[in-house]
Amino acid sequence: MSEDAPRLYLATPPLAETRDFLPALTSALSAGDVASLLIRLAGDDPRKNEELVRALAPLAQEKDVAVLVEGSATVALRAKADGAHINGSGEELADAIEKLSPKYIVGASGLELRDDAMRAGEMGVDYVLFEGADLPELIERVAWWVELFNIPCVARAASLAEVAPLAAAGADFVMLDDAVWTDQRGPAAAVAEALGALAQGEAEG
């Protein structure tokens, strides 16, 4: 696989506690090369969320997986994560970039329009995330971005079947969430299949 081959980005379900999720995360991370982990949080208590991130982040970081926290630069900093993932291209994103860049990673999602994605890029994000229910439209958005911009692009795959097409379209990272955690074979099998699909997509791209 080439140095700039697409890589896997996992996102947790929205978590209110970690005990029940730890075995699934351990299993997923044991299956192969995962670039990044996005920790999604169910509640809005900063102290509780900091505890959740502190409980999960070391598991990933010891495997050289970058850990990002959804929605809070402050929690990311206090819990010693590697960055934050912010929705939209407005004031919250600007604040996160001011607090975290360039030492930490800042990603942006919820970019409904091309103008929103370009605005986030101009603000200095480290990556943009594209997602959507319509796969052809998502593939088109990814292809447009990678042709014009150097900022890495993450594409969310709603299923394992979408991984290869999104990699072939040029996504730098493919994000998986429920498709991994709800796979009846277990998270490790889902991650292993996703890694194979990334290689297939790169070959087709």
151 residue type, one letter: I
Strands 105-109, 153-156: pairing kind: unpaired
pLDDT of the residue at 3: 57
Token pair of 202 as six digits: 């790169």
Interatomic CA distance for residues 67 and 61, integer angstroms: 7
Domain boundaries, the chain: 7-204
List, for residues 12-39, the tens digit of each pLDDT value. Answer: 999 999 999 999 999 999 999 999 999 9
> Per residue, what are the HEC states of 143-178?
HHHHHHCCCCEEEECCCHHHHHHHHHHCCCEEEECH
- What is the rounded average pLDDT of the residues 67-88? 97
Model confidence at 123: pLDDT above 60: yes
- Check: CB of residue 124 under 8 Å from CB of residue 104: no
Model confidence at 1: pLDDT above 50: no
pLDDT of the residue at 133: 85
- What is the rounded average pLDDT of the residues 169-196? 98
Model confidence at 194: pLDDT above 60: yes
- Check: CB of residue 124 under 8 Å from CB of residue 103: no
Q: What is the chain's percent helix, strand, coil content, to nearest 5? A: 45, 20, 35
Alpha carbon 68 to chain centroid distance?
8
pLDDT of the residue at 2: 44
List, for residues 143-180, the tens digit of each pLDDT value. Answer: 999 999 999 999 999 999 999 999 999 999 999 999 99
DSSP 15: B
CATH code assigned to 7-204: 3.20.20.70
- What is the rounded average pLDDT of the residues 175-202? 97
Q: Which residue has the higher pLDDT, 46 or 4?
A: 46
The position carrying tokens 């194979």 is 196
Model confidence at 128: pLDDT above 80: yes
- Check: CB of residue 76 under 8 Å from CB of residue 104: yes
* pTM of structure: 0.96
Token pair of 59 as six digits: 């598991």
Percent of the chain with pLDDT over 70: 99
